[in-house]
């Protein structure tokens, strides 16, 4: 079947309602585009879940609400022609490309003024470094769910906290859908795939490996030593990051993967997440220890 491109919210909702009436399951992969194999692995997972007769929708929307004014909204990489071709090859049924005017109307007197806010697990880590970020994420994802009406939505473990926040929102607000979090895809040298890797210049690409190296070495250490104080692991990570001239640690946290509450005693099964600037590029990665 031919892939459809849909840009209008009303058209997307009509299609989704029709599919539901016809008994077709809907799998949804929300993205900001500039697709890589990590995104495509989510498409495959969605297809696996809804089956050959089900419908897979991938959305591309660079959501202004989740970027702070100082962040990379304007520079965020885009290549719609390439993304379209990749989606076609993956047998995506609908490429949904909502437009800013419809997502956040600014008409006089009836501009957009409602937000969805998770108030507990979105405050730490990414939420501490980027205080308005998750408010933008939960709001746009709630909107997209109301447009695509999915049975299942697939997110990547690369953004671990985001997956947890979305799962919490779906549970708290009774969205009638299932959230699946699929594993992080990596380049062969360990770097987690990310649209933002495109920003890395010259030697920064090599120095960016410090994230996956920190995660791997910490996991080895915790597996060997059993229980290790978070403070000691944090020091070791800080030292590894400061050995790379272009790298600057934003945070490293050790926490319970369910509650996201930080732990002092790290043991196998504890979740580790970190954010590091490499040059001007901010990268995140995480691992279950």
Cα torsion through 37, 40, 45, 48, rounded to 10: -120
Nearer to ligand AMP, 266 or 287 (CB): 287
Q: Is residue 38 involved in binding ligand AMP (CB under 6 A)?
A: yes
Please, which residue, 127 or 156, has the CB nearer to ligand AMP?
156
Nearer to ligand AMP, 149 or 193 (CB): 193
| Residue with tokens 């926490």, as numbered in its chain | 255
* Residue 42 to residue 156: CA distance in whole angstroms: 7
Of these residues, 36, 39, 108, 133, which one is catalytic? 39
Site string for ligand AMP, 79-118 (x = CB under 6 A): ----------------------------------------
Q: Is 150 in the site for ligand AMP (CB under 6 A)?
A: no
Rounded alpha-carbon distances, angstroms, from residue 193 to 26, 83, 156, 230: 26, 15, 11, 27
User: In 125-208, where does DSSP find H-type helix?
Assistant: 126-129, 133-148, 160-172, 204-207
Interface characters, 40-79, with ligand AMP (x: CB under 6 A): -xx-------------------------------------
Distance CA 272, CA 255 (A): 6
**Listed ranges 118-126, 128-136, 167-175, 186-194: which one lies at the site for ligand AMP (CB under 6 A):** 186-194
39 binds ligand AMP (CB under 6 A): yes
Asked if 158 interacts with ligand AMP (CB under 6 A), we say yes
Interface pick for ligand AMP out of 156, 218, 276, 282 (rule CB under 6 A): 156
CB of 100 to ligand AMP, least distance (A): 16
Binding mask 205-234 for ligand AMP (x = CB under 6 A): ------------------------------
Q: Which residues contact 185 (CB under 8 A, 6 or more apart)?
A: 36, 37, 38, 41, 156, 158, 192, 193
For residues 285 and 215, is the Cβ–Cβ distance under 8 A?
Answer: yes
Please choose, out of 38-46, 87-95, 119-127, 169-177, the segment that lies near ligand AMP by the rule CB under 6 A.
Answer: 38-46
Among the listed ranges 192-200, 223-231, 247-255, 269-277, the one in contact with ligand AMP (CB under 6 A) is 192-200
Q: Which stretch binds ligand AMP (CB under 6 A): 15-23, 150-158, 208-216, 242-250?
A: 150-158
Q: SS in 3 state form for 179-199?
A: EEEECCCECCCCCECCHHHHH
The verdict on whether 39 is a catalytic residue reads yes
Listed in sequence order, the residues at least 6 apart from 93 whose beta carbon sits closer than 8 Å to its beta carbon are 1, 3, 4, 55, 56, 57
- H-helix or E-strand containing 239? helix 230-242
Work out whether strand 26-31 and strand 55-60 pair parallel, antiparallel, or are unpaired.
parallel
> What is the DSSP secondary-structure string of 246-269?
TEEEEEEEEE-TTT--B-SEE-TT
We find the least distance from the C-beta atom of residue 182 to ligand AMP, in angstroms, to be: 6
To ligand AMP, the closest distance from the beta carbon of 152 in angstroms equals: 13
Containing H/E element for 26? strand 26-31
Query: Would you please indicate which residues are annotated as catalytic (active-site) residues?
Result: 39
Please give the residue ranges that form the binding site for ligand AMP (CB under 6 A).
31-32, 38-39, 41-42, 155-156, 158-159, 184-185, 192-195
């Amino acid at each position: 079947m031919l892939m459809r491109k849909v840009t209008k919210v009303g058209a997307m909702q009509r299609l989704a309602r029709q599919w539901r009436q016809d008994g077709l399951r809907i799998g949804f992969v929300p993205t900001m585009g500039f697709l890589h194999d990590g995104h495509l692995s989510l498409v495959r997972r969605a297809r696996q879940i809804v089956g050959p007769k089900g419908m897979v929708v991938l959305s591309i929307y660079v959501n202004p609400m989740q970027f702070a004014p100082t962040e990379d909204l304007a520079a965020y990489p885009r290549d719609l022609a390439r993304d379209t071709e990749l989606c076609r090859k993956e047998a995506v049924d609908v490429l949904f490309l909502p437009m800013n005017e419809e997502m956040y109307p600014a008409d006089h007197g009836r501009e957009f003024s409602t937000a969805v806010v998770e108030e507990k697990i979105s405050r730490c880590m990414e939420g501490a470094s980027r205080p308005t970020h998750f408010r933008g994420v939960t709001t746009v994802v709630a909107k997209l769910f109301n447009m695509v009406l999915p049975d299942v939505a697939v997110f990547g473990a690369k953004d671990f906290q985001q997956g947890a926040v979305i799962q919490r929102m779906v549970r708290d607000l009774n969205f009638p859908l299932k959230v699946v979090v699929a594993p992080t895809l990596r380049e062969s040298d360990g770097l987690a795939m990310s649209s933002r890797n495109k920003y890395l210049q010259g030697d920064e690409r090599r120095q960016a490996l410090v994230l996956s190296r920190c995660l791997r070495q910490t996991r080895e250490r915790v597996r060997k030593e059993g229980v290790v104080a978070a403070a000691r692991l944090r020091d070791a990570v800080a030292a590894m990051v400061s050995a790379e001239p272009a790298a600057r640690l934003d945070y490293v946290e050790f926490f319970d993967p369910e509650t996201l509450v930080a732990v002092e005693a790290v043991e196998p099964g504890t979740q580790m997440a970190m954010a590091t600037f490499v040059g001007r590029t901010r990268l995140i990665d995480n691992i279950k220890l």
